[in-house]
Amino acid sequence: MEELDGNGAAGRLSEVFALEMTGARGRCDTCGNVVALAEARAFLDAPGVVIRCRACESVLLVLVRGDDRYWLGVSGMTWLELR
Ligand SMILES: [Zn+2]
């Protein structure tokens, strides 16, 4: 499984979010770390996109694409700030 930074996931995330995702920030619900998604750890070849906290490795976000829909899990973040 290839690891990239969060910039690598921006293309797939932009399929769901019309806003620019590289500038999005989130707070890790596990450790409280606030980080730009572009700086988080991204794995694109998991069953979907998985973004993990760089500080504690917790899963922040999961995005799975099906034939005609997406499933988005953000339970690992206290909040997500989009600009
Ligand atoms: Zn964390």
- Whole-number Å distance, alpha carbon 13 to ligand 1 midpoint, is 20
- Whole-number Å distance, alpha carbon 18 to ligand 1 midpoint, is 26
Give the SS3 label for residue 21: helix
- Whole-number Å distance, alpha carbon 74 to ligand 1 midpoint, is 13
- Whole-number Å distance, alpha carbon 34 to ligand 1 midpoint, is 8
pLDDT score recorded for residue 52:
95
Q: For the segment 23-74, what is each residue's pLDDT rounded down to a tens digit?
A: 889 999 999 999 898 899 999 888 889 999 999 999 999 999 889 998 999 9
Residue 7: DSSP 8-state: G
State the Cα–Cα distance between residues 72 and 55, nearest whole angstrom: 22
State the Cα–Cα distance between residues 36 and 28, nearest whole angstrom: 11
